[in-house]
Amino acid sequence: MTGSTAKANLSHYEKIQILLEEYRSLRSEVAARLTYGFQIGTLGVGAIAWVLGRSDLTFDRTAVSIGFIFTSGLGILWIVSIRDVWRLSKRLQALEHEINSRAGEHLLVWEQLHGGGAGSQRRAFFVARDPKPRTGLKPLDRYN
């Protein structure tokens, strides 16, 4: 029997543990992406403070062009970071649902109730909102 044709006989518990490990990994990736976004913001604020703090400030075309390119680059990096957090949040919601389904009850619910994919992304970014009620959770799937 070769490795490619052999089917692993994982127990129900082992499958949940594998999914939980992916869940942990993705949660740490969300934290890293959020930290990255704050670092980009800090760099941008620092650059603006440096430019405004210069006593010989002149607004020639070169300085304005460099500032625009720098600001645009930081904006793109920030948008990519936020986009990745939303994608990770959607995957975390799916993992929560699968783990809960395998466990037979709603144990992991944070991303499903509070996460980035729970509702309108644009509105949630600017307005604090209450979490969805637990009664709004999807019914659990059946696993053997």
Specify if 144 maps to a domain: no
Domain that holds residue 36: 14-136
Kindly report which listed range (54-58, 71-75, 98-102, 139-143) carries the lowest average pLDDT score: 54-58
Nearest to 110 by CA among 86, 127, 135, 93: 93
Q: Residue 3 falls within a domain, yes or no?
A: no
Structural domain includes residue 4: no
Is residue 7, in this structure, part of any structural domain at all? no
Task: Judge whether residue 117 has pLDDT over 70.
Answer: no
**Number of separate domains in the chain:** 1
Q: Which pLDDT score is estimated for 29?
A: 94
Query: Which pLDDT band, with edges at 50, 70 and 90, does 67 fall under?
Result: confident
Average pLDDT, the chain: 81
